[in-house]
Structure 1
């Protein structure tokens, strides 16, 4: 019985209803356009973020390498400065006649007149 009543109901077409249908259709088109624009914008934003991330990662790696090289060069500089100090001290000692005489005795087994040279075994060469 209810189906028969529904079939008998007729839609009234009015200017208001047509206007509302047009507004609904416009809203749907605008919403579709908005979704398309947001999708394209999101896609470009994702590409930009990916590019920025890769660039930042490469820069971070480059900075790490440069810091590591800088640390190595600073260590090398410290070593060279110590070597320079040692050599400067060696130069000062080489201007001292007593030091030169000590080197001649030790390395070339030279002696002063009337001096006897005794060679003792070195303590680091034990075969124990």
Structure 2
């Protein structure tokens, strides 16, 4: 333990020293001479304030070291999160590309079939088999949509006239 001794002499000199106590019982058994007693009466033993200051400095140094070590750690963690997100997006794009590749391969294999090619030619380009006549009736959904639109317009016009 660190101790600071103050003397009560006329010039009030402060004497500082460090004393390590190994055995308190041994110190208690020492006999004091009259001169030592008088000296002990004039000397007041107080705990050193340096130990508190040292502890504070050590705590501050430790906190600074933790902060300085934590900054790169936080930067690494944020960069790791960005890389993981980028990897996830790339993985999804890869999965979509693989699925699209499978669809294209299946279409390619179907295009190797002459019957499928004939079906496409008849459907998209109006090719006919010998002796076959093709009638284009138009798109049934389109005509139904036009009819529905005309009904809606008539209903809207009727509502506008009544007001």
What TM-score do the two structures reach when normalised by structure 1?
0.71
- The answer to whether structure 1 residue 103 and structure 2 residue 120 are counterparts is yes
Gapped regions of structure 1 (runs ≥ 5): 1-12
1:58-110 CA distances to partner (integer Å, 9 max, x unpaired)? Answer: 22222221221111111111111111110110110010001111111222222
Aligned partner of 2:67 among 19, 39, 50: 50
Aligned partner of 1:89 among 102, 106, 120: 106
- Alignment partner, residue 72 of structure 1: 89
- Alignment partner, residue 36 of structure 2: 15
Aligned partner of 2:52 among 8, 30, 35: 35
In terms of fraction of residues, the more strand-rich structure is: 2
Q: d(CA) in 2 for partners of 1:53 and 1:124?
A: 66
Number of matched pairs: 111
What TM-score do the two structures reach when normalised by structure 2?
0.58
Gapped regions of structure 2 (runs ≥ 5): 1-33, 149-163
Q: d(CA) in 2 for partners of 1:124 and 1:14?
A: 123
Q: Which runs of 4+ in 1 moved over 3 A?
A: none
Q: 1:118 is paired with a residue of what secondary structure?
A: coil
Q: 1:54 is paired with a residue of what secondary structure?
A: helix
The alpha-carbon distance between structure 1 residues 120 and 58, as it changes in their structure 2 partners (threshold 3 A), is farther
